[in-house]
Amino acid sequence: MPSPLTPIMEFIDLKTQYRELKVSIHNRIDRVLEHGQYIMGPEVHELEERLAAYTGARHCVTVASGTEALLISLMALGIKAGDEVITTPFTFVATAEVIALLGATPVFIDIERDTCNIDAGKIASAITPKTRAIMPVSLYGQPADMDEINCIASQHGLPVIEDAAQSFGATYKGRKSCNLTTIGCTSFFPSKPLGCYGDGGAIFTSDDTLAQACREIRVHGQSKRYHHTRLGVGGRMDTLQCAIVLAKLERFDWEVRRRREVGEKYRQHLFRSAAPARMISLRPDRDCVWAQLTVLVEDRAMVQARLKAQGIPTAVHYPISLDLQPAYQHLCRSGNLANSHWAAERVMSLPMSADLDEDGVRHVIDALVGGCTRLERGYLTTGEGSYPP
């Protein structure tokens, strides 16, 4: 445990962000309290217009959470029992959960060892007559190789759902995440790059038919009040949460720039230091909003203990790949997932916020370096040679 004199860093500094936006947030909330339209109020439509314009997608449909965004998207595509959906096992459980909830089979494809994103080159060989969709995850805030994935999908007549819960604000070849595929889904969970103060999410598409289906499904399958044309869910994002996201949009462009700058500071300091950690790789044709500032380390438990002793919080995203989770072992189909298992033993997330300054980054790096052994200071061994910075 840190000593009583050791300051505790924020893993995600939402307090500073709130202080900067306090007036705008309260004004937005007060407006909702005054008009009293807590469900599907005017802020819902305003936010959807703003987010669609931001991404370039024709439609945005706000929903109750990132998980609901994925579930509703699959329902709109008609995914059902017996179907297969190709995805990654190295992600938060919601990605596979929504597939399994519809009775479909998650088909797990291994990841790239250096980015931890799905390996697009391995997708084609997993497609079968039962395959109905491909769902890549833009992990840690960096989009997967969407052009290659879209090309494979097009050859087989398959839709692609980008699970962009962590990558809203990122770009791929100059295009915004959430507008890279048939459907994009994001989350406004408080810790996300653009977060609310509860649960929330959004679906993006330029397909008019899919957008209408998503809108109906989120309100119990209604095409109009009490007229139910399809199965649906109670999946609306409430007006207060939309108001909070609208307030946060005021400085979102600045926050995205700062996240990239902070990520680059980490990269520079890690490269120059003897720290026993290496950041995940960034591809040159895309950027990252660092929903999690994730590094790869050996002897993770020891490194985490060292940081904790100096008041620095860490997290692991994710310690067990989904194919090894008890609830999914009998529900999924998968091949060789060696990279996913390797990464699960080594990934560790460090403090990251738009308001994290260089002194904060240096404090984390100094703690990583302090006390590490000579062996730790070397490159991480991958079994395929040295893993470069």
**What are the extents of the domains in the chain?**
14-250, 252-387
Tens digits of residue pLDDT in 21-54: 999 999 999 999 999 999 999 999 999 999 999 9
For residue 389, what pLDDT is reported?
30
How many alpha carbons lie under 13 Å from residue 342 in its C-beta half-sphere?
Answer: 18
- The answer to whether the pTM exceeds 0.85 is yes
| Cα gap 353→32, rounded to integer Å | 28
Burial of 107 (0-12, 13-18, 19+ CB in 10 A): buried
Q: What is the pLDDT of residues 126-136, one digit of tens each?
A: 999 999 999 99
Per-residue pLDDT band at 6 (split at 50, 70, 90): low
14-250 and 252-387 have identical folds: no
Mean pLDDT across the stretch 338-352? 98
CATH number, span 14-250: 3.40.640.10
- Mean per-residue pLDDT of the chain: 93
Evaluate if residue 5 carries a pLDDT over 50.
no
CATH fold, domain 252-387, is Aspartate Aminotransferase, domain 1 (3.90.1150)
Residues of the chain above pLDDT 70, percent: 93
pLDDT of 325 above 50: yes
CA 173, CA 304: separation in Å to the nearest integer?
Answer: 35
DSSP 10: P
Tens of pLDDT, residue by residue over 246-292, are 999 999 999 999 999 999 999 999 988 878 899 999 999 999 999 99
Q: What is the CA radius of gyration of the chain?
A: 21
For the ranges 167-176, 252-261, 359-368, which has the lowest average pLDDT? Answer: 359-368
In the structure encoding, which two tokens stand for residue 177, read together? Answer: 């995440």
**Could you read off the pLDDT of 105-163 as tens digits, one per residue?**
999 999 999 999 999 999 999 999 999 999 999 999 999 999 999 999 999 999 999 99
With tokens 């005017």, the residue in question is: 42
